[in-house]
Amino acid sequence: MDGEVGAERGRRVTIRDVAARAGVSKGAVSLAFNDRPGVSPATRDRIFAAARELGWAPHLSARSLAGSRVDTVGLAIARPARMLGLEPWFMEFVSGIESVLVERSCSLLLRLVRDVEEEIAVQQAWWRGRQVGGSILVDLRDGDPRVPAL
């Protein structure tokens, strides 16, 4: 039948079903359930209502048991904070990263550092502490010391 979703069709309700019912993207559902910015209060309410109607809740413990996946990507960038406003590409770059990550229910961990050595130290600490499952490197050069360090 048209309009049937999830359990009504004999299958488990998914985040995709909630997004369709609420008229939003899967990323918006993820933002709402992870209490992240980027979703208006009205949209958040609509998402929660759709989830209640469908009987859906995120399976956070199942996801972590299934592979201990870390859904955060790290970007440590050697730039003084005052320079970011002078580099117009930077905000577009971060916005582009975020738009891709949110569609995959991932987050960006951003840190401004003084130099490449600190960038390496920060990225290594994130990996050791399992805070990130991926890293983004910018301004790559031949023989870049960051690549083998990570």
Q: What is the CATH number of the domain that holds 53?
A: 1.10.260.40
As for how many domains the chain has, the answer is: 2
Query: For residues 78 and 138, is the Cβ–Cβ distance under 8 A?
Result: no
pLDDT of amino acid 91 = 84
The answer to whether residues 73 and 141 belong to one domain is: yes
* In a domain? residue 64: no
The answer to whether residues 133 and 73 belong to one domain is: yes
The answer to whether residues 95 and 26 belong to one domain is: no
* In a domain? residue 1: no
User: What is the domain extent for residue 84?
Assistant: 69-149
**Could you list the mean pLDDT of each consecutive 10-residue stretch along the chain, which spans 150 residues?**
50 91 93 86 93 81 51 90 80 91 90 93 89 90 90
pLDDT of amino acid 16 = 94
* In a domain? residue 44: yes
Q: How far apart are CA 137 and CA 42, in angstroms?
A: 37
The answer to whether residues 143 and 75 belong to one domain is: yes
pLDDT of amino acid 117 = 94
pLDDT of amino acid 108 = 94
The answer to whether residues 138 and 76 belong to one domain is: yes
Which of 105, 77, 107 lies closest to 91 in space, CA to CA? Answer: 77
Enclosing H/E stretch for 107: strand 107-113
Q: Tell me, rounded to whole angstroms, the distance of Cα 116 from its chain centroid.
A: 24
Alpha-carbon distance values, 93 to 3, 11, 87, 97 (Å): 39, 39, 10, 6
Token pair, residue 105, equals: 């229910």
pLDDT of amino acid 61 = 44
The answer to whether residues 143 and 92 belong to one domain is: yes
